[in-house]
Structure 1
Amino acid sequence: MRMLLGLSESLPSLVEAKFNAAKAAQSLIFSPTELAIIRTSTGIPFQLRYCPALAKKPVPGKDDASAPKKKPDPFHNPSADLLIADIPTLNPSHLLVLNKFPVIRDHFILATKTNKEQTHVLEQDDLEATYACLKAWQNNMEQGHQKRLFAFFNSGEHSGASQPHRHLQFLPVECMKEGKQSKGWDLLIDIISSQSDTSLKHGVGWPSGLLQHPAIPFAHFALRLPSEPSGPQLLLAYDQLYQSAKKAVEEYIETNPSTLALHPIEEGSLPISYNMAMTTTAIAICPRRSEGHTLRHDDGSEIGLIALNGTTLGGTLMVKNQEEWDVLRTQSGRLDSILEAIGIPKEVHPPTLHSRV
């Protein structure tokens, strides 16, 4: 049975109103970005965002040489200025809260009401709540156009995760696109799931129906979702994708034992790092082996570390420094090296550009 949010007004209206009020009250810090579209050597488009303001953002524990303090939990009794709603309204299991440091408007978060671990397996109600938000957003029409949300999740030390309290994040696709600046760009999960000839050809042990795009240089697994999927269907899809990601990591470690190891699994934590993404039509997982990749000059000197999270499955990445911005926009092949380094490598077909991208 599909979760009903029970909100007093449409989800987009609630989020927009709360975002505008919080921005005006300086309860959140919105940092606009410059935007460019770059491509892999095989033609896959990625948004590159440049946000120098984030380079000035304090990092907990870095600015204070004294004994480290326990990191505050932003999802435990969040500020009323940022709290959107508890969902569902009857016996709420989750809350919706604005991201305090957004670079894209109306970036909001779904967190568990109780402090569950980010590194544990997602549960059925997490997936049901995520899908309910995606669907509620899409049901809101604006000027004849259907709105869309992109959901993503980071789990494990190599995934770009920053908070241990379990949460998934949402970005409005229209806000990601920013008008004509993103011409030629699509969500990566859309590119993966829309291809008709990308079924993963694996032997025994791989679920049927798995999708993997041949031109993307890291292992990833996707499934198309049925219309109005049930909670058990969402959980099954997630489990199949997670098991496929885990198998890919284990196979990589077998041949590269010195470069990656499984995580400790005490107290229920999962043995791999991964990103998950979801829309109303598809769900995808990307196993991770590194949080980022260091860009270097030809002489080996460091330009900067490019860190990625689950927005990778949305086809977007961000830099904070001018030189990183310049290098990635002007030097083809740098994007490939980043994507190959952060994921589990796989063979990429020769450079052929699909007409859709």
Structure 2
Amino acid sequence: MNAAPLTSAALWSRTLAVTRHALETGALQPIATEARTVPVVGTAFQVRVLGKVALKERRRPAPSSSSEPFNPFANPEPDLVLGDVPPAHVCLLNKFNVVEHHLLLVTRAFEPQDALLTLADFDALSTCLEGLDGLAFYNAGETAGASQRHKHLQLVPPLGPERLRAPVEALLPLLPGPGHVVAAESLPFAHLLAGLGPWGAPGAGARMLAAYRLLREALGLAERAPYNLLVTRDWMLLVPRRRAEHLGVNVNALGFAGSLLVRTPEQFDAVAALGPLELLRQVAGVSP
């Protein structure tokens, strides 16, 4: 890992440099997909279909003598690391990325992926969002689409279309002020939305933490209940989860952002016929 902390100003240039190097060394192994879209009233959802090569099972680490499962974040590959993010995280590239320049913000000390987010998490996230005005997300637990047990938030560049951080942004209502939550009438699944106030104001991490706690309380989430969290500089959306998949399609936070991943063309056809919003309703529950 880099000794010097990663600053907001250096994040994007560092992302590009580490990506180039990691591709050259083979540390970064992007997953090939075919990008398609499915119309939704007011926007279009992105659906990526895995390529045939990506469907083959990748080589897994040799089993160790320990009963603990392999943790790729315990000692991340140096060629993937951008640097430390104070107070308690390290930023690295997602080794098997579908979206280009997909960043992971991992706690240096182990914490479980279904643990509550903390001020340290949001302070580190605000540093990264200052350097990349994109979409951050968190998959709280396996039911919410998490594939690793070690706590990590994720950040991707804007998904679009146009200047949107995510397709779902076109469906959101006027943002409420800090301290208030609202549901979007256009989203037929359980969720709540909070506004974060002006980005340039000090204390972005604390404002995110306050909004996160407010959303959890308003939705009545138990401490270890599974959920997905979407965060931008402007807003935060929380979606409680009741199951991991529907029609064989696993859904994580990016699905609620308007970006789904399916394994086969047949799964794409099934999602298109059902409708992406109905797919999300099936895994998240019905809006109260």
Report the TM-score range of the alignment, normalised by the length of the smaller protein.
Answer: 0.7 to 0.9
CA contact (8 A) 2:8 2:128 kept: no
Partner Cα separation in structure 2 for residue 271 and residue 150 of structure 1:
24
In the alignment, which residue of structure 1 is the partner of 2:37?
Answer: 37
Post-superposition offset of 1:221: 0.9
* Matching residue's letter, 1:15: T
1:190 aligned residue (169, 173, 176) = 169
Q: Classify 1:13/1:57 alpha carbon distance in 2 versus 1 (closer, same or farther; 3 Å).
A: farther
Please tell me whether residue 312 in structure 1 is matched to residue 255 in structure 2: yes
Post-superposition offset of 1:116: 1.2
1:158 aligned residue (140, 143, 151) = 143
Q: Deviations over 1:100-137 (max 9, x none)?
A: 10011111100111101211111001011111101122
Post-superposition offset of 1:344: 1.8
Unpaired segments ≥5 residues, structure 1? 138-147, 200-206, 248-261, 263-269, 295-304, 348-357
Please tell me whether residue 272 in structure 1 is matched to residue 270 in structure 2: no
2:211 aligned residue (231, 234, 237) = 237
In the alignment, which residue of structure 2 is the partner of 1:129?
Answer: 124
* Matching residue's letter, 2:79: D
Post-superposition offset of 1:192: 4.9
* Matching residue's letter, 1:72: F
Partner Cα separation in structure 1 for residue 249 and residue 66 of structure 2:
25
Post-superposition offset of 1:282: 0.8
Q: Classify 1:84/1:184 alpha carbon distance in 2 versus 1 (closer, same or farther; 3 Å).
A: closer
Give the count of matched residue pairs: 279
In the alignment, which residue of structure 2 is the partner of 1:209?
Answer: 180
CA contact (8 A) 2:32 2:54 kept: no
1:15-164 equivalent positions in 2, closer than 5 A: 15-40=15-40, 42-52=41-51, 53-58=53-58, 70-88=68-86, 92-137=87-132, 148-164=133-149
Partner Cα separation in structure 2 for residue 57 and residue 99 of structure 1:
18
Of stretches 19-28 and 93-102 in structure 1, the one that deviates more from structure 2 is 19-28
2:124 partner SS? helix
Please tell me whether residue 226 in structure 1 is matched to residue 226 in structure 2: no
1:21 partner SS? helix
Post-superposition offset of 1:67: 10
Please tell me whether residue 286 in structure 1 is matched to residue 227 in structure 2: no
Post-superposition offset of 1:184: 10
Q: Classify 1:323/1:316 alpha carbon distance in 2 versus 1 (closer, same or farther; 3 Å).
A: same
Q: Classify 1:283/1:51 alpha carbon distance in 2 versus 1 (closer, same or farther; 3 Å).
A: same
CA contact (8 A) 1:45 1:185 kept: no
Partner Cα separation in structure 2 for residue 44 and residue 273 of structure 1:
27
| Structure-1-length-normalised TM-score | 0.70
* Matching residue's letter, 1:26: G
* Matching residue's letter, 2:97: P
Please tell me whether residue 246 in structure 1 is matched to residue 231 in structure 2: no
Higher relative contact order by CA 8 Å / sep ≥ 6: 1 or 2? Answer: 1
Q: How big is the alpha-carbon RMSD for the aligned residues of Structure 1 and Structure 2?
A: 2.9
2:212 partner SS? helix
| Structure-2-length-normalised TM-score | 0.86
CA contact (8 A) 1:39 1:45 kept: yes
Post-superposition offset of 1:284: 1.2
In the alignment, which residue of structure 2 is the partner of 1:341?
Answer: 282
CA contact (8 A) 2:196 2:233 kept: yes
In the alignment, which residue of structure 2 is the partner of 1:258?
Answer: none
Q: Classify 1:57/1:13 alpha carbon distance in 2 versus 1 (closer, same or farther; 3 Å).
A: farther
Unpaired segments ≥5 residues, structure 2? none
Partner Cα separation in structure 2 for residue 32 and residue 23 of structure 1:
14
CA contact (8 A) 1:131 1:279 kept: no
Q: Deviations over 1:204-226 (max 9, x none)?
A: xxx96212211112111111112
2:83 partner SS? strand
Partner Cα separation in structure 1 for residue 96 and residue 50 of structure 2:
12
Q: Classify 1:185/1:93 alpha carbon distance in 2 versus 1 (closer, same or farther; 3 Å).
A: closer
CA contact (8 A) 2:193 2:235 kept: yes
* Matching residue's letter, 1:14: R
